[in-house]
Amino acid sequence: MKKDFLQIEVTKNYPEFQLEARFTVAEGEFFSLVGPSGCGKTTLLRLISGLARPDTGRIILDGRDLTTVPVAERNIGFVFQDYALFPHLTVEGNIEYGLKIRRLPVDRRRERTREMLALFEIGGLADRRVQDLSGGERQRVALARALAPEPFLLLLDEPFAALDYGLRRRLRRELKELQSKLGFTAIFVTHQQEEALSLSGRLAVMEAGRILQVGSAMEVYSHPSHPFVATFLGDANLIPCTAQRTPEGFTVYPQGGKRCLHLPVQEGPAGPHLLMVRPEDVLFTRQDPVYTGEVVTIEYLGYGFAVEVKVGADLVLKMLTGKEMDHVLGEQVGLAFRPQSVKLIPRPE
């Protein structure tokens, strides 16, 4: 496996938007780009595919500099949110199309198309026109079409966004299984954190044209390096605090807290930070609480309760409890944090 199979270091400037990105993708990796609408995910995919040119920098794929190579010569597959299938062609015609463009001999083309129809279990739809298909079926055809020419790299731009939740989850699982079976390298764009976390080997979190953090789903969720990453990938309490270095790690003083916390060795300088605690890691306690405060919200979620506790003039802590809940609105409670679950994040200027 080549670790730096795809190397990207580019800038792109539009009148009201600047993109600056630098990351690598390993061969056979399923890599996600995740971030809110307008952060530059599609622009980045367009640069990789050749639909747009970077202003500066380079894109290297398997050792070959693609920066000035035309789209048609890159052998990169693209699956779009709106499928972009040819409505006048049948399912079979759509899958065969890319192979025709690559001038594959007719026999090989037919054989490969049959393989793809079987792989995606859409053989029964071969002669249907694509406008007569359901959304899920169309997306299977779009994936089959993109993978038919055995691209070096598959780019997927929110491919399941138009589908309902259940189907999206099913296709997501199927795609992941297919990717581990065939071993193709893929970059998957989504603005949904759940999708990115469940699919990716590694992911890059983007905001306003910048990549804030790259890492495995677990690393980025558990050790966000930036407040935006912490809150974008899930709910998080971000508590202003001061950290002092000790031989064992850090002693942390959360703003308005009843006591300090001792954190095992963590990198980074002492001084002002944000203490990140996920709602599921905030616990009720009667003994030696970090905070005390008033329960101001209790929301029943079925699998548990979302609870908010006001612990200071400007600080409300979010909790996610299990099915048992023996506290009531207005009650004074003590709170502690699950050991090992709190993280320090540098406080932005």
Binding site for ligand ATP (CB under 6 A): 14, 17, 35, 37-43, 191
Q: Measured from the CB atom, is 143 or 205 closer to ligand ATP?
A: 205
Closest distance between ligand ATP and the C-beta of residue 50, in Å?
A: 15
Q: Measured from the CB atom, is 9 or 115 closer to ligand ATP?
A: 9
Q: Measured from the CB atom, is 14 or 86 closer to ligand ATP?
A: 14
Closest distance between ligand ATP and the C-beta of residue 14, in Å?
A: 3
Closest distance between ligand ATP and the C-beta of residue 211, in Å?
A: 12
- Please provide residue 100's backbone torsions phi and psi, each rounded to the nearest 5 degrees: -65, -45
**In this structure, are residues 291 and 309 in contact, taking their beta carbons and an 8 Å threshold?**
yes
Write the CB contacts of 308 (distance below 8 Å, at least 6 apart in sequence). 295, 296, 297, 316, 317, 318, 319
Q: Measured from the CB atom, is 38 or 123 closer to ligand ATP?
A: 38
Q: Measured from the CB atom, is 232 or 291 closer to ligand ATP?
A: 232
In angstroms, what CA-CA distances link 89 with 126, 134, 141, 305? 10, 16, 12, 51
Q: Measured from the CB atom, is 35 or 293 closer to ligand ATP?
A: 35
Q: Measured from the CB atom, is 40 or 289 closer to ligand ATP?
A: 40
Task: For residues 44 and 132, give the distance between their C-alpha atoms in angstroms, rounded to a whole number.
Answer: 32
Q: Measured from the CB atom, is 149 or 209 closer to ligand ATP?
A: 209
Closest distance between ligand ATP and the C-beta of residue 300, in Å?
A: 32
Task: Give the 3-state DSSP-derived string for the chain, with helices as H, strands as E and coil as C.
Answer: CCCCCEEEEEEEEECCEEEEEEEEECCCCEEEEECCCCCCHHHHHHHHHCCCCCCEEEEEECCEECCCCCHHHCCEEEECCCCCCCCCCEHHHHHHHHHHHCCCCHHHHHHHHHHHHHHCCCHHHCCCEHHHCCHHHHHHHHHHHHHCCCCCEEEEECCCCCCCHHHHHHHHHHHHHHHHHHCCCEEEEECCHHHHHHHCCEEEEEECCEEEEEEEHHHHHHCCCCHHHHHHCCCCEEEEEEEEEECCEEEEEECCCCCCEEEECCCCCCEEEEEEECHHHEEECCCCCCEEEEEEEEEECCCCEEEEEEEECCEEEEEEECCCCCCCCCCEEEEEECCCCCEEEECCC
In the chain, the amino acid numbered 224 is: P
Q: Measured from the CB atom, is 25 or 104 closer to ligand ATP?
A: 25
Closest distance between ligand ATP and the C-beta of residue 139, in Å?
A: 17
Closest distance between ligand ATP and the C-beta of residue 19, in Å?
A: 7
Closest distance between ligand ATP and the C-beta of residue 155, in Å?
A: 12
Count Cβ atoms below 10 Å from residue 329 Cβ, excluding itself. 10
Closest distance between ligand ATP and the C-beta of residue 299, in Å?
A: 28
Closest distance between ligand ATP and the C-beta of residue 233, in Å?
A: 16
